[in-house]
Structure 1
Amino acid sequence: MGKGVVRVSIKNFTRQNLKVLTGVPFSTVSDAVLPGWEVSLVFVGATKARSLNQSLRSKSYIPNVLSYEVGTKSGEIIICLSEAATESPRFGMNERNFVLLLFIHGLLHLEGRAHGATMEQCEQKLLAKFLPAQASAKGRVRTSPNVSTNRNRNRHRHIPGKTGRG
């Protein structure tokens, strides 16, 4: 690590052992995305994740990751380990690498990025840079699950002469 790098503070509020995450370069990745920031990484269970999502965002589902600024150049990333374990196969990743993806995703939100193609490209570049060689040798890692989106659903909605129906 470089001079002046602040290590990521990690707290585990689950009963899960974090041995699977040994060696994940959280501090190095954090410094690459948000140099000079203090980042707290918190692992929680499903109940706590849902409760935090409800209180912070008024959403009732269990999120895989939440992130929010705590102060100037200070933020917290909360990852639900049980949700990460459930979702990782849909992304074609093991749990360890998926947690790294969620951490990167949270950092990019702290940086001010919104969901979209640009954010996914950043995630891809950072994963390629920080994943172990054997993990990235498998080819491109999906940063979005293989599900359809409604991104173009209303594309022709306001064009004169188009009803939006097929």
Structure 2
Amino acid sequence: MIELDNRTSLQIDTLVIDAIADSLTKKEIEFILTNSDEMREINKTHRNIDKDTDVLSFPYEEMPMSPLGSIVISSSHVEAGAKEFGHSTDDELTLLFIHGVLHLLGYDHEVDNGEMRKKEAELIEKFNLPKSLIIRTQG
């Protein structure tokens, strides 16, 4: 289940991201959609990186009944990515959400042998998202 906190004017359809989350976990996920200024501040505070970014994931400590974690996505990156790659903002948001939820589940593309990218591609296929999103995950 997604607990959405949309702090922007970007209108989003949560039907697909709800289905993706439900297919991967029964735990609640906090999902914050925010602007680039707040994203930069969150990144600086929690990762000591003073710049805006597209998606951040914060896993919660594993306890009975605890949510899986929080995913924070920058609306400006959603809009820019959709424009750059020629697909809808919902598709871009979904790709970033998939990336974030896989991090919450313990995947890490920086140290694995392509497992996270493979899982992203599987989810893109399973939920009939644009094939162009698969190419991006292989980069």
Normalising by the smaller structure, the TM-score range is 0.7 to 0.9
Question: Taking structure 2 as the reference length, what is the TM-score of the superposition?
Answer: 0.82
C-alpha distance in 1 between matches for 2:132 and 2:76: 24
Output the amino acid matched with 1:120: R
Give structure 2 stretches of 5+ with no counterpart: none
C-alpha distance in 2 between matches for 1:23 and 1:70: 22
Comparing 70-79 with 40-49, greater Cα deviation is found at 70-79
Aligned residues: 131
| Aligned match of 1:158 | none
| Aligned match of 2:29 | 39
The one of 51, 58, 61 aligned to 2:41: 51
1:102 aligns with 2:96: yes
C-alpha distance in 2 between matches for 1:23 and 1:55: 28
C-alpha distance in 1 between matches for 2:120 and 2:85: 13
Percent identity between the two aligned chains: 24
Q: In 2 relative to 1, CA 38–23 (structure 1 residues): closer, same or farther, beyond 3 Å?
A: closer
**2:51 is paired with a residue of what secondary structure?**
coil
Q: In 2 relative to 1, CA 60–98 (structure 1 residues): closer, same or farther, beyond 3 Å?
A: same
Aligned 8 A contact 2:10 2:75 in 1: no
Aligned 8 A contact 1:91 1:144 in 2: no
Question: Taking structure 1 as the reference length, what is the TM-score of the superposition?
Answer: 0.70
Q: Which has the larger radius of gyration?
A: 1
Query: What CA RMSD, in Å, does the superposition of the two structures yield over aligned residues?
Result: 2.1
Structure with bigger RCO (C-alpha 8 Å, 6+ apart): 2
Deviation of the 1:61 alpha carbon: 1.6
C-alpha distance in 2 between matches for 1:118 and 1:12: 30
More helix by share: 2
